[in-house]
């Protein structure tokens, strides 16, 4: 079983956390970004030009994890993750006129130069808990940066202090 939690919702992007209830060591965040343009071969090298031309819009789904999910998960479990993410996207407003492509990003070599172990384990947890929190936040930040890259704007510029989910 898994738990899906929306972390961020903007007019053109969302970030979700995907958590396995029985395995807390796997970190998964994914973003759904409406790029507001037609898809190109650069966006999806697997698509034919005809497939790209059929749709007016491009939705990018970027899945970020600390593990290579395809290698580390059983095939059925991996398929369930992809199916749940796809099901979520299929129920979005502009899905039917969009070319959707999912990219997997594996962050198994996280730069730990900024990681600082806190001494107070009662407040911050033991070394394993602190390292997990650092990795989770690092992957989450990478997910935010992917949205900024796709939209070519900083998140703080996208969200102008209004509740973007209420915008139409």
| Host domain of residue 145 | 2-163
Conformation bin of residue 117: beta by default, left when phi > 0, alpha when psi is -120 to 50:
beta
**Using CA atoms, how far apart are residues 3 and 120, in angstroms rounded to an integer?**
30
pLDDT of residue 4: 93
Q: Is the pTM of this model over 0.85?
A: no
pLDDT of residue 68: 93
pLDDT of residue 94: 61
In a domain, 57, yes or no: yes
In a domain, 168, yes or no: no
Q: Which residues pair with 10 in a beta bridge?
A: none
- Along the 168 residues of the chain, how does pLDDT read in single tens digits? 789 999 998 888 899 999 998 888 899 999 999 888 889 999 888 889 998 888 888 889 999 999 999 999 999 999 999 999 988 888 776 666 788 888 999 988 888 888 888 888 888 889 999 999 999 999 999 999 999 998 888 887 776 545 445 444
pLDDT of residue 95: 62
pLDDT of residue 161: 45
pLDDT of residue 52: 87
pLDDT of residue 65: 94
In a domain, 134, yes or no: yes
**Using CA atoms, how far apart are residues 160 and 167, in angstroms rounded to an integer?**
11
Q: Which residues of 45-64 are buried (b: 16+ CB within 10 A; e: fewer)?
A: eebeeeebeebebbbbbbbb
In a domain, 71, yes or no: yes
In a domain, 93, yes or no: yes
Tally of structural domains, the chain? 1
pLDDT of residue 118: 87
């Amino acid at each position: 079983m898994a738990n899906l939690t929306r972390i961020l919702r903007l007019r053109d992007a969302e970030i979700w956390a995907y958590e396995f209830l029985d395995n807390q060591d796997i970190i998964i965040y994914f973003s759904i970004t409406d790029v507001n343009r037609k898809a190109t071969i650069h966006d999806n090298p697997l698509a034919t030009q005809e497939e790209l031309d059929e749709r007016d819009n491009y939705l990018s789904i970027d899945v970020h994890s600390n593990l290579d999910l395809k290698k580390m998960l059983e095939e059925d479990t991996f398929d369930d993750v992809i199916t749940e993410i796809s099901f979520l996207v299929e129920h979005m407003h502009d899905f039917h006129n969009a070319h959707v492509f999912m990219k997997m990003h594996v962050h198994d070599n996280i730069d730990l130069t900024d990681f600082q172990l806190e001494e107070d384990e009662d407040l911050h947890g033991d070394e394993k808990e602190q390292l997990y929190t650092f990795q989770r936040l690092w992957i989450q930040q990478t997910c935010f940066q992917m949205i900024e890259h796709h939209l070519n704007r900083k998140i703080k510029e996208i969200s102008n202090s209004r509740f973007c989910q209420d915008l139409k």
